[in-house]
Amino acid sequence: MSKKQRCLKLKVNARFDSATSPAILILLLFVGINMAVAAVQGSAPGLDVYPTHWWVGMKNPALQLLIHCRNFGGIHQVKLGSYPGVKLIEIHKFDNPNYLAIDFNVGAATKPGKLSITITNSSGNSKKLDFEFKEHRKSNGMEYAQGITAADLIYLIMPDRFSDGDTSNDRFVDMNDTVCSRSNPFLRHGGDLQGITNHLDYFNDLGVTALWLTPVVENDQGLTNEAGTMRSAYHGYAFTDQYKIDRRFGGNNAYSNLVEQAHKHGLKIIQDAVYNHFGDKHFLFVDPPAKNWFNQWDTYTNTNYNDQPLVDKYASSLDRNETVKGWFTPFMPDVNQQNPFVANFLIQYAIWAVQEFGIDGWRVDTYFYSDRVFLNRINKALRDEYPHISIFGETTTKSVTEQAFFCENNLNVSWKSNLPGVTDYEWFDAAIASLTKKSGSSPNVGRLYNILVQDILYRNPMNNEIFLDNHDQNRFFSAIGEDIDLYRSGIALLFTQRGIPQIYYGTEILMKNFKDPTDAEVRKDFPGGWADDSVNKFVPQGRSSLENEAYDYVKKLAHFRKNSSAIKSGKLMQFLPIGGVYVYFRYDKSQTVMCIMNIDKEDRSISFGRFYERTKGFGHAEDVIDGKKYDLAGSLILPPKKMFVFDLH
């Protein structure tokens, strides 16, 4: 490798099987500087390996172990026990003598078992670990890594704010952040994975088919002072150890149980991933193997939060570098995915998480901020191992062209993304604008029509996740002025358009608020998720009549959608909007669904005859909400702020 990477390799041709000598001793003489060791002198000596374990029978036989020996005085020697089928390829040493990387090839015939690894320091003191190769995960009748498709309805949950199912894990005195206080919107509130598991029947009743949780991995960050306010990492986007599910959420066992129980309830699980940055308390940042594991600047440099320099062929290198290599916040150092060891660490964790927990989909936070070569590499690695797994990336871009650039597209560009789909912010902006804004004297429903016109840029727009709100946006009910008619129209729009619909926890019960002055305002606790809550909105008795009306409307449409082949996998045909009236169809060989929206403030009349191209052969349209039938030979009076969803017969 190049001198710049400051890492030396030692090639060894050896195979660990019954024919070799009982043990192989390799002397490693480390050079370079000892980086940031003082930061961990207070910790107890320990020997950690990443991945923590692996599996036999994986499609990719390559495995790279990263060994971290904490507060041990550096690694002087490594001794590997014999293991049939496991071939040693290469050993790597770093500037920091606390680390070692070992490359293996795990043969197809390798059996489950444990590989003995002994580390010795310069004083002759030794530490031993047994690295386990486990049996490959079996589905046992319940599929995993099955992917999320347009047939699904995603329910987005922020675990800390949904439900506290186990109060014993609300705080731990040995973690950096020991505070749990529901009275402060910036601190942890105690929600956990058991709280989500306790409400799986609720999701089934609502008609949800997939759960997307904001990150559940360890965020042992402590409190940070941002703009004079103490904040915790309750949101989960400042990882400190990917291989640990945060104990305050219940730990690895609680996550395994949630996934297993969700699958039994017919629910898929989407894991939220972050490749771009870690928390600044991450062990790899506190005690890095080498300086180039993170993007470094002479002085602190923040990302510019703009994707345009990555798409713009006229952009400067300065702007591109600031986008990709600038830090997301001063507390979230930017990861250098161009470093092959960093890339391997992230890729192997992604595969490990799918195999360990049996998750079904992958949502990637801050997608375009990462190195584009790395992004294609990790996507390919995941899909090579799990062909059906779905991946969608968060792309907050400025245009459909820019958004399409970051996923599989029809653009004539030099770099071609292999990301299947994105969080469709362009659709989101257009949907909210169509419901709330005017263009001149008419509603702006034409903006949504024009966004869909640009679907020619995507390879498959059905893979895009569409939404009306999420943990970073205004609550939908507030964004539309708490208008229940517009609420119903928006839900109907979301559930019948192309793509994978996602609702945010509490949207079904009209939870509200704006993200200004802070995002915490749209991350309130779900009422009833805590034992001492005065009301429980998980049940009809705890909801107001209007909240029950909203819940029942979502439930009715969700279950219709669940059984609608036309919406789940059919085609879309839209007609030019006239005034505030927008008409489109979802259809396949067995079903046709007609959707009619009037966002105007006045009654409008339409003739079904205008849509003969799609209505021919049908006699009447049945409202999927109330069952009322309409003769397709006549016309229809559209009340203001009303959307009809018709099943044609």
Q: Which helix (H) or strand (E) holds 134?
A: strand 126-134
Respond yes or no: is residue 394 known to be catalytic: yes
CB 351 within 8 Å of CB 54:
no
Do the bridges between strand 154-157 and strand 210-213 make them parallel or antiparallel, or are there none, so unpaired? parallel
Radius of gyration of the chain (CA): 27
Rounded CA-CA distance 335/327 in Å is: 9
Question: Among residues 225, 252, 233, which one has the least CA distance to residue 169?
Answer: 252
Positions of E strands within 336-405 = 361-365, 390-395
Catalytic residue among 394, 469, 508, 647, which? 394
Enumerate residues 6+ apart whose C-beta is below 8 A from 173.
Answer: none
Do the bridges between strand 581-587 and strand 592-598 make them parallel or antiparallel, or are there none, so unpaired? antiparallel
Rounded CA-CA distance 442/398 in Å is: 24
Instruction: Using alpha carbons, list the distances in angstroms from residue 189 to 160, 186, 255, 332, 416.
Output: 6, 9, 18, 22, 42
Rounded CA-CA distance 259/142 in Å is: 11
Enumerate residues 6+ apart whose C-beta is below 8 A from 627.
Answer: none
Which residue shows structure tokens 């999320």?
Answer: 148
Helix axes 340-357, 251-264, angle to 10 degrees: 50
Respond yes or no: is residue 365 known to be catalytic: yes
Three-class SS of 179-243:
CECCCCCCCECCCCHHHHHCCHHHHHHHCCCEEEECCCEECCCCCEEECCEEECCCCCCCCCEEE
Q: What is the largest CA-CA distance in the chain?
A: 92
Phi/psi of residue 543, nearest 5 degrees:
-100, 150
Phi/psi of residue 291, nearest 5 degrees:
-60, -30
Which residues are registered as beta bridge partners of 80? 24, 117
Instruction: Using alpha carbons, list the distances in angstroms from residue 630 to 289, 548, 619, 626.
Output: 70, 27, 9, 12
Enumerate residues 6+ apart whose C-beta is below 8 A from 4.
Answer: 292
Rounded CA-CA distance 252/255 in Å is: 5
Helix axes 484-496, 425-436, angle to 10 degrees: 150
Three-class SS of 498-555:
CCEEEEECCHHHCCCCCCCCCHHHHCCCCCCCCCCCCCCCCCHHHCCHHHHHHHHHHH
Rounded CA-CA distance 272/532 in Å is: 30
Rounded CA-CA distance 430/178 in Å is: 42
Catalytic residue among 152, 365, 371, 600, which? 365
Rounded CA-CA distance 364/273 in Å is: 5
Phi/psi of residue 313, nearest 5 degrees:
-75, -10
Do the bridges between strand 46-50 and strand 241-245 make them parallel or antiparallel, or are there none, so unpaired? unpaired
**What is the set of active-site residues?**
365, 394
